[in-house]
Amino acid sequence: MTVIKLGWFDFPERSFKAIGMGMDPDLFSAKTRLSKEQAVPVVQSWVTAKKNRGWRVQPGTDELHEYSFILISDSTGGEFAGARRLKKLKRQPILIITMGPTGSGKSNLAELVKHRMGVSTATKILIDDLVENDSAYKESVNNIIANAEFPHGMASGLTDPSESLLQMFQNAYRARRVDLDPKNESLLDIAMRRKENIVFEMMGTYIPTWLFEKATKYRIVVAYSLVRFCQLIDRNTMRASESMNHYLRDTRRNPAPRLPDIKNTTSHNKFRTTVASIQNVLNELLETCGHPKQCPVEQILVYDNNPKEMTLLFSLRDGQLSHDKGNVARLIKRAGDMNDNDCRS
């Protein structure tokens, strides 16, 4: 016997829920743009069709609220089509793509999204992990430290680095990244062949069409972490010193630090340009995914990482935003505020 409880549930997703019992324990959620009033005739029509095919119909219970039905089939083979679709989704691995500027908390973001998606384990693909643990990069960093001048001490030099010091670190990083990019992509290919869940971390200065095309057998979730501009500068300034001290405690085992260029002056605004670019790409992806047939991802999750605990601002799935467009624009502007009036001088 197959039993299906079908009813309207007033969840944030505003979805129908069909809960299979007995032979069919799966849960199927069919997304709809319909209001409850619009949905009633659709549900009734679906129930009538089932009834005409031999299903017995009983009134719904309080558990399912009004406009609900219980459908019963004596056939053990009559599995609900939606449940089959859900089983297929459950078999599909998940690719979580985290995006945000340096210092926005993408590692914490990945853990939150994994938990939200019910993913216990995932292979992390991050080019920075390869670079920072690379022996040749460590040697370059050691040489920079040995030869650089720190007239007011290393801590001060890292807090407010000279342009020459920034350039030396960036040259060392780029040189190793070019060599290690193929290895990073190879690790991604291996994880995909094994159908592993994957967390792919990137800044998000462009829409990764190449990754979407590669992950055709994956459920893709894109997650953003928004942080106010001044917060980003403060966090990166603090992290530069902390990561260097951590490295120097054990240069053989600990990862060598990068020194991101976060200078914020009229003549040197590369970091500001990068942060603004990431927000523009987010808006572009939201616009694209407002049309489900054009959207390459299952859902987009946008988090605010300004408070002590990272919180979900809004989401987009099947072309539907959890908030109206005007409110979404205000949320992005507030959480990713580019105002630098309060930045440390």
- Domains: count for the chain: 2
Same domain, 57 and 99: no
Q: Among residues 86, 104, 134, which one ends one of the domains?
A: 86
CA distance 101 to 205: 9
What pLDDT does 240 receive?
86
Same domain, 25 and 133: no
Residue 341 included in any domain: no
Same domain, 119 and 6: no
Q: Residue 269 belongs to what domain range?
A: 92-335
Same domain, 273 and 248: yes
Residues 182-196, mean pLDDT to the nearest whole number: 97
Whether the pLDDT of residue 190 is over 60: the answer is: yes
Q: What is the residue-averaged pLDDT of the chain?
A: 79
CA distance 26 to 136: 51
Residue 259 included in any domain: yes
What pLDDT does 198 receive?
98
Same domain, 100 and 71: no
Q: Strands 198-202, 123-125: parallel, antiparallel or unpaired by DSSP?
A: parallel
Same domain, 82 and 123: no
Closest by CA to 16, choosing from 25, 2, 28, is 28
Quick: pLDDT tens for 125-182. 999 999 999 999 999 999 998 888 877 677 667 777 888 889 999 999 999 999 999 9
What pLDDT does 48 receive?
67
Q: Among residues 67, 86, 105, which one ends one of the domains?
A: 86
Identify the bridge partners of residue 201 per DSSP, sorted by sequence position: 98
Contacts of 229 (CB under 8 A, 6+ apart): 264, 272, 275, 336, 337, 338, 339, 340, 343
Q: Among residues 86, 116, 146, which one ends one of the domains?
A: 86
Higher pLDDT, 47 or 117: 117
Same domain, 200 and 291: yes
Quick: pLDDT tens for 33-58. 445 555 555 556 666 666 666 666 65
Same domain, 188 and 279: yes
For the question of whether the overall pTM of this predicted structure is more than 0.95, the answer is: no
Same domain, 11 and 65: yes
Residue 343 included in any domain: no
Q: Of all residues in the chain, what percent carry a pLDDT higher than 70?
A: 70
Quick: pLDDT tens for 93-103. 999 999 999 99
Structure tokens at 343: 């930045």
What pLDDT does 61 receive?
45
Quick: pLDDT tens for 205-221. 999 999 999 999 999 99
Same domain, 183 and 240: yes
Place of tokens 């926005």: 104
